[in-house]
Copies of this chain bind each other. A is one copy, B any other.
Amino acid sequence: MDPTIPDGAIEPIGVVSSPRKNRRDDEWGAVESTITLDADQFDPAALNGLAEFSHAEVIFFMDRVREEEIEWNDRHPRNNPDWPSVGIFAQRAKSRPNRLGLSRCQIMSVDELTVAIRGLDAIDGTPILGLKPYMEDFGPNGPVRQPAWAGELMANYY
């Protein structure tokens, strides 16, 4: 479709270093990891003031998902037949078009080009594409509603 993204317009700004080396569904809440910005592109000024925020929002490329795994239509979340088959854009499965991950995490500290974080659901070596401070006004406006399966799926996620 038009418009497209120019080649090279979206490249890693940094990388995750995490004790989690392999894909895993649950128990991300206590995982302590780091994001280190690419020293060829950035200097520490790019992180100046980030430590004044409690949380960051992180966009990452889930590079360990193979292209042939991508789901384009609908499926049961986690292939669990107890949950309804829903569209790939009505779930947060990693095997999705563009393979973009998106999560909030706690900021523990910032040192030079490295942000120490807690609760990021990205495995070791994951390329980072976006990093923003979480601001309260960017939270959901109005009450949050979600289907029952989503709460069940998330029960052990964090």
Interface of A toward B, CB cutoff 8 Å: 1, 3-5, 7-15, 29, 37-38, 40-43, 45-50, 52-55, 57, 59, 61, 63, 67, 72-74, 84-92, 96-100, 102-106, 119, 125, 127, 129-147, 150-151, 154, 157-158
Name, among A63, A127, A132, the residue most crowded by chain B CB atoms within 10 Å (CB to CB).
A132
How long is the Cα–Cα vector from A90 to B43 in the complex, in angstroms? 13
Given A90-B50, A102-B130, does the pair A135, B146 have CB atoms closer than 8 Å?
A: yes
Inter-subunit contact B92/A54 (CB<8 Å): no
Task: Tell me the number of copies of this protein.
Answer: 2
Report whether B137 and A90 are in contact in the complex, using a CB–CB cutoff of 8 Å: no
A9 to B62, CA, bound (A): 11
User: With a CB–CB cut-off of 8 A, which chain B residues contact A104?
Assistant: 138-141
Contact call A73/B143, Cβ cutoff below 8 A: no
Cβ A61 vs Cβ B5 within 8 A: yes
Q: Contacts A53-B146, A135-B150 known; A46 to B88 CB distance under 8 Å?
A: yes
Q: Tell me the complex Cα distance, A105–B137, Å.
A: 12
Q: Top 8 nearest A-B pairs by Cβ distance?
A: A49-B86, A54-B145, A49-B90, A137-B154, A50-B90, A48-B87, A1-B38, A45-B73
Closest to A88 in B: B46
Distance in angstroms between the alpha carbons of A15 and B3 in the assembled complex = 8
With A11-B5, A127-B5 already in contact, the answer to whether A102 and B57 are too (CB < 8 A) is yes
Residue ID in chain B nearest A104 by CB atoms: B140
Query: In the assembled complex, which residues on chain B have CB atoms less than 8 Å from the CB atom of A131?
Result: 89
